[in-house]
Structure 1
């Protein structure tokens, strides 16, 4: 399998490594800036580099393309890749809008190419463990789920794609996509209904040149934020959200209620966590994406930490970083599926387009009932 990667930052390097781990050959790398893409390609020992995506498709003739740019830059490259019959691995968010995401899903279906949507934290060891426990009846009938996270992000990180709706920014695109995927993998993939509220707590951010890698953007925060010559960009996305959803589950008679609560700019007091509550018990996972220790509340009426089963632990790719482990896991499943091997269902453009529609609906903020007159 030959893979062409689009993106030279943290995700681009991570995707390239993930596909190599899956036994594929990374034949090319495409980026926006010639000097950057050539340097990263040399660093990763990728033989071909370019700033022209269409030209790279024609030259490299990949079986798979891996899209690792911000969400606002996904639409055209994916559309071009589908047109020439490439299978597509795409990081979240799928695109910047529901309309464009649905179009790409439809095009991929019509062309018959396989797709993978990397809302991939469903592949942490504790989430996989929780999925097994629910299937085994450890908590009885699932009733509700709670996902709580507070990131306390620095308000002065330089202005960029994460601040702009049109570029795939916002906490729904970059946090909710993962937690929804986690809950769906454990409880059930069919989302029946949802309601939500979003808020922009930020307003503006300093405009700074030279930021390339998302993971190092804090290093570029200006020393003097009161400098009169400093330029500022206006945020147009949410930095906080509250979403309630109902999911259908094969393990439950009634829809399972889910609360997703995220504050991007506020500090946490207790640990971020995900909890699955059932009629007979509960499963608690520490961490905003369920990557911490797992505890079970069972018949003895107290919380007990439960170690990860050996076979699940052995299935987790042996690489550094939770994000990287999950990319490796999904890339491995994707390559196996393309090769005709049997795999468990994984997130595709079907889920990616659904999630984008959910996000657009939540952002409308049309769920309030005015009661001030009562």
Structure 2
């Protein structure tokens, strides 16, 4: 089952600004029999994701191209926040009350503009509008509106001050601050809540592209996941999986999905496990600059996660030993569970949230063990700063919109 769009559902040149897009787009999931079913939020787990809901219709503002051109100073190069497979993302300013204000009285926004040569293009733009236009949750990036005029396709988001988790974990800029343990745990909990929300709606939603670059941070390091261009409606009640073209990013995609094209809700859980390991180690999922045998982080590190003494040697050296050893071991065990070779053995995201909440509530005080100067992350800062992922689809690096924090968003 996939996401379906009406061929006549969108005006080809909506130029009116300030209007809701309610009724313009429709998202339905086919159950295979020709009948359609619409989303409705599950009401049983509100404590996991307060204020989360799925709207009946998209509630988005339609921007004109001229308006966004003015907001970004004619898409000036010094307003670029980052660039991904879809195109560049620009920082913009609106002199109205449509979004939250900053200190100067202007509304700060982020504008993603499709590169005409992009291979992602229109379908992923529509998917982003339809999913984020209806999904409302504290840990999902807010899509404010869109623009479609002739060949110009743009998306307008809330501005995220701290940029991407990827940049904080792997960035080399002196302006990028190391994330302390408690902030890392806070980020993980927020991202887990977002996935739990998607997975436990009556009609499940599979995110399909969970990775550090798609986790964005606001000014208080609250995490929000972004980029729904690859999201899929989950399987119907009579099915266990969705069969689809393999798309995503090598290193994060679940093995069963890569091998067969069978996409499960718990395929997202595998991606979350990869990010757990990245958070522990401060190392990328894939990096060909590492020594032979260590290019794939999960293949290299997974055997070490269940041993406390070995775990100590692979934890991010930038933590300087300031982490609670018991909590680190528990996170490592959770990562192992999420990385299970079979999807049915992995925990649900609801269980992941509950585990992370328990670890956080224990409030274990960080210990300061002796720092190992031969730590495998010691050579990190001598590596090139460019990210070279191996995507499973033509995105060539995925969403890089927030890689250059803190100037991003």
Q: TM-score range by the shorter chain?
A: under 0.3
Q: Which has the higher helix share?
A: 1
Greater strand share, structure number: 1
> Could you state the TM-score of these two structures normalised by the residue count of structure 2?
0.24
